[in-house]
Amino acid sequence: MLNAQGRMLTDMHVFELGNAVLLTVPAAVTPAIRAHLDRFIFSEDVHVQDASESLAQIGVYGPLAREVIAGATLEGPGLVVIADDEPGVDGFDIFADRALAAGMRERLVQAGAVPVALPDVETVRVESGRPRWGADMDSDTILLEAGIDERAISRTKGCYVGQEVIVRVMDRGHGRVARRLVGLTFDPAAGIPQPGAHVSSGDREIGRVTSAVWSPALARPIALGYVHRDFVAPGTTVSVSGVPAVVADLPFVRHG
């Protein structure tokens, strides 16, 4: 969802459920997005509401996700199961009445699911090169900079807010933007950089780190960050707060 200047208001999934449209929106911007949508309702019989207090979301990811969900025999009013690969791993999101969520989680574990901690999810996300709203994208981001244009831009849907800016960049500017999101790899002995750390080439500051983790798959620290478009080629040597780093193609790791 964009503003008139082509900047991002949020990154989200949109699911058409027949009698409703479900948006999965980062919690921090939910009130602002609800108010934004309300401004576009004039005479339609539509109500925009925050469903987070009544609706729970459970993610089940991995090669056996389908079998685990089937084995858990989940049921309940308004239960919706939707395929998703947002963390960088194929799987499903389960939306259900919040009062039933604890019991559903227990049945999923009994069926073979293994609970994971948020840091583990973050590691897989960064290894998969997936930018996250609030970390790697914000209201100053043009989605072409974040490299999500293949999933986030429609060339056939018609007019939408911010379209003129996006089309101008894609067609007249041939997709050229001032900066791009890239991967950065470090020596195994290097420390994990902090978000916001400056990326430099010689004496020139060319960008900043947005997310960083230790990658078990690569046995080294890795990071996502924005760098000037002249430095996006994989193999380019840069430094992050004085520590050598190499620009890497994304994703770092292709999880099944």
Residue 241, number of CB atoms within 10 A of its CB: 14
CA 194 – CA 189 distance, rounded (Å): 16
Q: How far is CA 12 from CA 31, 57, 133, 151, in A?
A: 14, 14, 9, 11
Peptide bond connecting 251 to the previous residue in cis, omega within 30 degrees of 0: yes
130 SS3 class: coil
pLDDT of residue 22: 95
CA angle (89 as vertex; 124, 52 as ends), nearest 5: 90
Identify whether the C-beta of residue 124 lies closer than 8 Å to the C-beta of residue 252. Answer: no
pLDDT at residue 118, as a whole number: 93
From the CB of residue 223, how many other CB atoms can be counted at a distance below 10 Å?
Answer: 27
Q: What are the tens digits of pLDDT across the range 104-137?
A: 999 999 999 999 999 999 999 999 999 999 999 9
Cβ 91 vs Cβ 59: under 8 Å = yes
| pLDDT means over runs of 10, the chain (256 residues) | 93 92 94 93 92 94 96 91 90 95 97 96 96 96 92 86 90 88 98 98 98 98 98 98 97 88
Please give the Cα distance from 169 to 48 (Å, whole number). 32
- Domains in the chain and their CATH numbers? 13-126 (no CATH), 143-248 (2.40.30.110)
On whether the CB atoms of residues 183 and 161 are closer than 8 A, the answer is: no
Tokens 């009698």 sit on residue: 19
Listed in order, strand segments (DSSP E) in the chain are 13-16, 21-24, 55-61, 80-84, 91-97, 179-185, 198-201, 204-215, 220-228, 237-240, 243-248
Q: What is the pLDDT of residue 256?
A: 66
Query: Locate tokens 């194929």: which residue?
Result: 90
* pTM, rounded to two decimals: 0.92
3-state secondary structure of 70: helix
59 burial via Cβ count (<10 Å: 0-12, 13-18, 19+):
middle
Kindly state the tokens that stand for 7.
């900047």
Q: Cα–Cα–Cα angle for 102, 108, 112, nearest 5°?
A: 145
